[in-house]
Structure 1
Amino acid sequence: MTLPAAVETAPAETADAFAREWEDWHETHEERRADPHGFLAVTGLFWLTAEPRRYPGLPGEWFTGVTGPVVVLGDDETLTVDGAEVTGTHAFGPLAERDGVTVGFEGGVVEVAKRGGRDILRPRRPDFPFLATYTGTAAFPADPSWRIPGRFVRFVAPRAIEVGAAVDGISHVYDSPGYVEFLVDDEPFRLLAFDGHRPGSLFALFTDATSGVTTYAANRTVSFEVAEGSDTTVIDFNRATNLPCAYTDFATCPLPPAENRLRVAVTAGERTPDRRVHGEVSAEGLIPAEHPGGR
C-alpha cells in the first residue's frame, strides 16, 4: 500500500514543544471530563420499563412506553426542564438513539436518554465521591513518532456497522464512511472509522497489544480529520483517549469492531485509570458498590 510521506513539522516544533502542546490539550480534555455534571459524577444506571417506579435519589415515579419516558412528580417534587420548573406529570416524548436530555433536580441533574433501543436514567451529582477524589488519568509521554500520516478510503456508500457495548444486552449501530490505512514500522494497518460530530470529523474505536496490560482492556478512541475531496489525514495516537466505561460501570460505551483490534502495541495516549466506579445490581438497575472509586 502506498501512503503519504511522513508528516512535515515546522523547524521550531521540537519534541519539547510537541510535548507542551499535548499537555495543554490533555489538560483541557481532563477539565471537560471532570465537569461537575460529567460522566465521573454519574451515580447509577437505570433502565426504564412500562411499570412506574422510583429510582434512588431521584424525584418522581418514572416509566416509558411508545411515547417515550414519563415522570410523575409528587406534590412537593419538581424538576427543571429547559430552564423551567416542572411539576405533576411530564412526558419527554420519543428519544432518538444516542440522544437524550439533561434535567435538573435538587442536588444534581439526571440524563434521560436512549441507548441500545432502551430508555435510561443516569443521575449525576457534583458531590459524588468518585468525582470529588479524581486526580487525573496517566498517559504515555507525548511522542511525535505516533503522529502518523494516513490515507482515508471511502466506501461507495456509508455502511451501518453494529458493535457491542460495555453493558450486556445492548448493541450500537454507527455509520461508517470508510477506513483509514497507515503504517507502523513499515507494517500496514487500518481502522474502520465512524462519523464524528461535524463534517470531516471521524473517530475510530480500537484495541491494541497494550489493551488489558497498560491501557484499558475494552477500548480506546482516537479522532482525526479528513477534508472534503481529500483522502489524506493524520492520526495522532498521542490523543487516544479512554471512553467513560474505563471509569464507571454506568456507561454504555461502544466496543471496537473486530477489524479494529490492532496487533501492534500503541504506546501512546491515555493509560488505564487507577480507579473506577463499580456497580452492583439492584431491583432498579445499577447502583454504586459500597466503596465507589475502588479498584
Structure 2
Amino acid sequence: MTDDFTRAWRDWHEHREAALAQPHGWLSLTAFHWLDEEPAPLDGLPGLWSSDGTAVTVTAKAADGLSADGRAVDGTVEFKAPAGSGPAWVDYGDKRLELAPRGGRHAVRVRDPLAPTRTGFTGVPAFDPDPAWVVRAEFTPAPELVDVGSVREGVDQSLHAVGTVRFDLGGAAQELVATDAGEGRLWLLFRDPTNGDTTSSFRQLTASAPDPDGTVELDFNRSLNMPCAFTDYGTCPLPPGANRLTAAVTAGERKPS
C-alpha cells in the first residue's frame, strides 16, 4: 500500500517528467549559436543574424519561413526583450528559436520537438522517496551578488544570494548559500559525494519561503538535475563555491541514462 508521502512524491515526479517532455522543453535543444555584430548565416537556419549585445537583428524574406508573434519576418527586424521578461522567440516551422541574452551577448538556441533527446526520452531515474531526507534548516539572511560562472565556456553568470541555510545531514553540520527563487522561495545549487557516480555533476533544490522563525524545510527527495544534465546546449550557472555537502545525498533525481 502506497503511503501519502510516496504518493505525493510520485505525482510530483510525473509532473516533472511531463514538463521535461514538452515539445519545446529542455529536451528539445539541438543547437547553440553565438551571434556577432556582423550579420551572418547560422547553420540550418534561414536569414542573416546579428546582435549588438542589447538586441538581435534578423534579415530574412517572408518565404524563408521565420515568424514572430504570428507575423512573418520579412526584411530586417530587431528583437529586444524587455528587461526581466526572459528571451525573445522566433518560430521556424515546428522549431522555436530562443534569442538568449548571456553575459552581454546573444545566442540563438534551437528547440526542435524531433530532437533525439526528446523523442528518445523514457523518464528521469530517481532514488526511492524517503521521509528521512526531509530536514529542517535555519535560514540566515545575507543578501549579496555572487559570481558563479557557468557550465558553458565564455558565459559568466551571477546569482542573487539571499542568505545561508544551516542543517545537519549525515551526522555533520552542513551549510549552503541560498539564492533567490522568487516569491520569497530559496534556490539551492549543491554538490555532494554522489556526483559523477549515481548523480549528475551538481543538482538543484527549491524550498518554500522560510517561516517567521527563520526555519525552512528542505526535501532532498525533490532534488533535480539541472538542464545541462540533459543537453549539451545548456548554460547552467555553477553552484556557489562553498555549496558542497559532505554527506552523500542518495535522494532525488539520479544521473540521466
- The interval holding the TM-score normalised by the smaller chain is over 0.9
After alignment, is 106-115 or 233-242 more displaced?
Answer: 106-115
Q: Which residue number corresponds to residue 190 of structure 1?
A: 175
Q: Which amino acid aligns with 2:35?
A: L
Unaligned runs of 5+ in 1: 1-13, 275-295
The CA distance in 1 between the partners of 2:62 and 2:71, in whole Å, is 17
Tell me how far 1:74 sits from its aligned partner.
Answer: 2.7
- Match of 1:43, SS? strand
Partner of residue 211 from structure 1, selected from 195, 202, 207: 195
Question: Given the alignment of the two structures, is residue 23 of structure 1 paired with residue 7 of structure 2, yes or no?
Answer: no
Partner of residue 138 from structure 2, selected from 133, 148, 151: 151
Partners of 1:147 and 1:238 within 8 A in 2: yes
Question: Given the alignment of the two structures, is residue 39 of structure 1 paired with residue 22 of structure 2, yes or no?
Answer: no
Question: Given the alignment of the two structures, is residue 116 of structure 1 paired with residue 103 of structure 2, yes or no?
Answer: yes
Partners of 2:62 and 2:72 within 8 A in 1: no
Tell me how far 1:97 sits from its aligned partner.
Answer: 8.0
Q: Which amino acid aligns with 2:242?
A: E
Tell me how far 1:92 sits from its aligned partner.
Answer: 0.8
Q: CA RMSD in A?
A: 1.9
- Match of 1:76, SS? helix
The CA distance in 1 between the partners of 2:104 and 2:16, in whole Å, is 29
Q: Which amino acid aligns with 2:234?
A: A
Partners of 1:95 and 1:114 within 8 A in 2: no
In structure 2, the CA distance between the partners of 1:66 and 1:268, relative to structure 1 (3 Å rule), is closer
Tell me how far 1:117 sits from its aligned partner.
Answer: 2.4
- Higher share of residues assigned strand: 2
- Match of 1:130, SS? helix
Partner of residue 234 from structure 1, selected from 217, 220, 228: 217
Q: Which residue number corresponds to residue 233 of structure 2?
A: 250
Written as runs of structure 1 = structure 2, the 5 A alignment for 1:1-295 is: 16-93=3-80, 96=83, 99-155=86-142, 158-196=143-181, 198-217=182-201, 219-227=202-210, 229-274=212-257
Deviations 1:68-89 (A, max 9, x none): 1100013522433233333211
Tell me how far 1:133 sits from its aligned partner.
Answer: 0.9
**What is the number of equivalent residue pairs in this alignment?**
257
Unaligned runs of 5+ in 2: none
